[in-house]
Amino acid sequence: MAGRLKTILSRVAQAAPVVVGVVIVTFVLTRALPGDPAVYFAGAAADEASIAEIRTALGLDKSLPEQFVLYVGDLLRGDLGESISTGQPVVTELARRLPASLELTLTALLLSCGVAIPLGVLAATRPGSWADHLCRVLVTAGVSLPTFFTGLALIYVFYYLLGLAPTPIGRLDFIYLEPPRVTGFFLVDAALAGDWETWWGAARQIVLPAVTLALFTLAPICRITRAAMLQALSADFVRTARAAGLTRPTVIYRYAFHNAMLPVITTLGMVFSFTLGANVLVEKVFAWPGIGSYAVDALVVSDYAAVQGFVLAMALLFVALNLAIDIAYTLIDPRIGFEN
Amino acid sequence: MADVSLHSGGGAGGSSALRHVVYVLRSNPVTLFAFAMLALLVFAALFGPAVAPYDPYASNAARALQPPSWDHWFGTDNLGRDVFSRVLVATRLDMAISVSAVALSFLVGSVLGAASGYWGGWTDRIASRVLDTIMAFPLFVLAMGIVAAMGNTIENVVYATAIINVPFYARLVRAEVNIRRNAGFALAAKLSGNADWRVLAVHIFPNALPPMMVQVSLNLGWAILNAAGLSFIGLGVRPPTAEWGIMVAEGANFIVSGEWWLALFPGLALMLAVFTFNLLGDGLRDMVDPRLRT
């Protein structure tokens, strides 16, 4: 166990330079604003004196390394600046909207794992069957679908033509009240409050955006599950298990599937990155009040602090997730160790 | 020497390589289809403005929001512009953005990857760190941040798309160069008096080209999606310019009232282009490395 703890600690230590890199990149992005930020923030009617005042207030009169130190200090205090469009600190806005994005992303990932992993397993265990063909079609078509287009197509069919889906505006129709906030996930909060009517309202709203995202993530998960299962099934230990007379379900699920899960978990990290990006587009299509649509709205009015805060938050989220996956990996697979 | 190394890497010489291509194309109609689609895309990109039946920017309020008909194959938009002409004309811009972005990342990635694979040491360490940092961002989000910071123009969309794709090329080249750094032919080239950069550029690097071509093709589709996604959220291309992503965004407002053709056709064009490049990439992979065939 001590060795394992050491492995985990070394993995955490490896993430540190990446976080530093991420912070440097966002800093450079903030300072690369076109033109003079002080003039920009001062507004159109500002005179020389007020521009100079703002420059001092923003710390733009200092040298770049000094500015960087100030920037890192602000970050450590959890200060990402203020959004000029809403007048709120960026951190509060992001924190308020993050649960909406996470709820959508996680629902979509659960949905696509629930479909893609069984499908990939079926495709690998029964080559040439309908599952195999479906898997192949999904893999090729899935990567070609622009998420925003799939979303619009779903809205057209299920909202306009069939009338099954509710109006694609946000997380909850205005006839419902938001459930009391515990986790920020409407589905969880409504269930905790025992308010099943609101739960149903929230569920109806989340179905289409979640399916849109799920369709997008189906392809890579399906592809890697199929490949990993095929590889595991052709391994020696599976042949031995078969030769020893174990039943087919035991061989497939206990022996092959458990081993095939490792590459799938790794791929989930990559898929999560794509999903965070695609989230922005899906949130825009469905007017979902998450951090993606916040960033898009901020982009339109050139609210840079908000955009930079969003980019940084997403990157840190992604680094943390990869770290979590790696650590989970270490715990699952005893063979993994890191050479110093 | 360069020729020998090229051939030993590619696995086939001049006419036999051609025969192999013909063989693969014949045995794999899907790849043939992909090449046909590519020809169509290139044709639309080159001659789109010339063959478009209407002026893509001419509005005609009398014919606004008409469903597809013989006069207007893809219908008309809210300003009465012909959607078919706009989709056709947009091909050039979309292809130009993705081709130039991929070309840029190919160049930069090759140089970075070759240098770090060949010399190793600090070059490698610094380059790898920088690339790791890029990969630490969700890529589409990083592209958004770059365009927001550098300014909302089409060139910056190209640069942003290029930057987020560089790590893929650099890693590929680094691996390919690294395994051949001490190969017999590389050492022989060096012993016969070639400078390091020459051995690298002329003898070792060409071996990385076949897998690079596959990557380029797959990447082109991805670059198109990326650029279209950026313009969908209002970055880069501005109205009234005809571009697939922005056309879908404009059409999105009419989906809920049932005018589906505004968003459908540019969306289909986008899908078709991405699909073509993905199929092409898979086909190229079959030609380059038959073992990876799935």
Please name which of B210, B212, B209 lies closest in space to residue B201, comparing C-alpha atoms.
B209
Give me the residue spans of the domains in chain A.
1-85+301-340, 97-287
Q: String of b and e for B28-67 (b: at least 16 CB within 10 Å)?
A: beebeebeebbeebeebbeebbeebebebeeeeeebeebe
Q: ipTM of this predicted complex?
A: 0.81
Q: Which residues of B touch A153 (CB under 8 A)?
A: 264, 267
Average pLDDT, chain A: 80
Tokens encoding A269: 């990290």
Contact: B255, A160; criterion CB under 8 Å: yes
Residue B193 CB: number of other CB atoms within 10 A? 7
Contacts of B181 (CB under 8 A, 6+ apart): B117, B118, B204
Alpha-helical regions (H) of A77-193: 90-125, 130-142, 147-154, 186-193
- Smallest CA–CA separation between A114 and chain B, in Å? 23
**Pair B24, B11: CB distance under 8 Å:** no
Looking only at Cα atoms, what is the longest distance across chain A? 86
pLDDT digits (tens, 9 = 90+) for B247-263: 888 888 887 777 788 78
Q: Which residues of B touch A155 (CB under 8 A)?
A: 255-256
Contact: A34, B150; criterion CB under 8 Å: yes
> What's chain B's Rg over C-alpha atoms?
22
Question: Is B37 in the A-facing interface, judged by CB distances under 8 Å?
Answer: no
Contact: A167, B256; criterion CB under 8 Å: yes
pLDDT band at B3 (very low <50, low <70, confident <90, very high): very low
Its pTM stands at: 0.82
- CA distance linking residue A82 with residue A324, whole number of Å: 30
Which of A25, A277, A278 has the CB atom closest to B133's CB atom?
A: A25
pLDDT digits (tens, 9 = 90+) for A141-175: 777 788 888 888 888 888 888 877 787 777 777 77
Rounded to whole angstroms, what are the CA distances from B116 to B120, B187, B210?
5, 18, 20
pLDDT digits (tens, 9 = 90+) for B75-104: 777 777 888 888 888 888 888 999 999 999
Residue type (1 letter), B283: G
The confidence score (pLDDT) of residue A36 equals 61
Please name which of B282, B285, B276 lies closest in space to residue B42, comparing C-alpha atoms.
B276
Half-sphere exposure of A120 (CA within 13 A, CB side): 30
Secondary-structure class of domain A97-287 per CATH: mainly alpha
Tokens encoding A222: 């399906």
Contact: A318, B138; criterion CB under 8 Å: yes
The confidence score (pLDDT) of residue B82 equals 81
Domains, chain B, with CATH or none: 10-57+72-293 (1.10.3720.10)
Q: Which residues of A touch B258 (CB under 8 A)?
A: 156, 160
Chain A interface test: which of B137, B153, B224, B280 (most A C-beta within 10 Å): B137
